[in-house]
Structure 1
Amino acid sequence: MPKKNPLLQPFDTAPFSKIKNSHFKPGFEQAIRDARKEIDAITANPDAPTFENTIETLEFAGQQLDRISSIFFNLNSAETNDEIQAIAQEVSPLLSEFGNDITLNEALFKKVKTVYDNLVEIDLSTEETTLLVKKYKSFSRNGAN
């Protein structure tokens, strides 16, 4: 495998001609590590939770992982093969574990809840309010409270 994984490089359009199946698992693993660091930065922030430092930052956390997942699972649906299916079986539990680690993260939920509980006191746009409510309900529905 080349030193530089094209999945981990910045791109606007997926560089399909450069992506090999061997890039996916290490790409997922690195993107999960990076996303965990982004989540940890939110929970470690000593400032009072705000829309910007909690909800907005959470919304953008894991973008690289989202891009890799989108590419991979679209390929798995459209052009699957035995190797892609084997990779899916390996990475799906990693993604599930990561998702659970976020939605069951008490420190993160506490920050989201603090912002949500102050909804009437903060000046948010309709879109920001929708995002805040969506994030809060997602945590609540998944057992964070």
Structure 2
Amino acid sequence: MESARWQAVAALVDPVRRALHDYVRRQDHPVTREEAADAEGISRHLAAFHMDKLVEVGLLGARYEAPEGLPRGRGRTPKVYEPADNGLSLTIPERRYELIAAILTEAIAEKPTDAGEAARRQARSRGKRDRK
């Protein structure tokens, strides 16, 4: 899972790819390559290249689907993209909620009169202990 997070970050370094990802995430419907290309002012082929890279790293999902409300034309059914529902989450810097929970639990266990000071004391103590 850690490797997948870094691959996702690396994929979003490219500004065109990041813009396409942001565009797809803002839409309330699956997006075609043509729609994304028009929105970002790039060619359909460039949009397809970048969007397929985003699928590879798990940031977008893709499937073939005929546009709703339009007659079926000739050729292949268009590929549509939408945000992936993979639970991938990344925060930089990494947030360690279990650590803050442990620090606050230890602070509360002291039954302090000043909760803020108790939390700071526990955090300093934990920092010194973890540094060793």
TM-score normalized by the length of structure 1: 0.26
TM-score normalized by the length of structure 2: 0.28
Whose strand fraction is larger, Structure 1's or Structure 2's?
Answer: 2
Which is higher, the Rg of structure 1 or of structure 2?
2
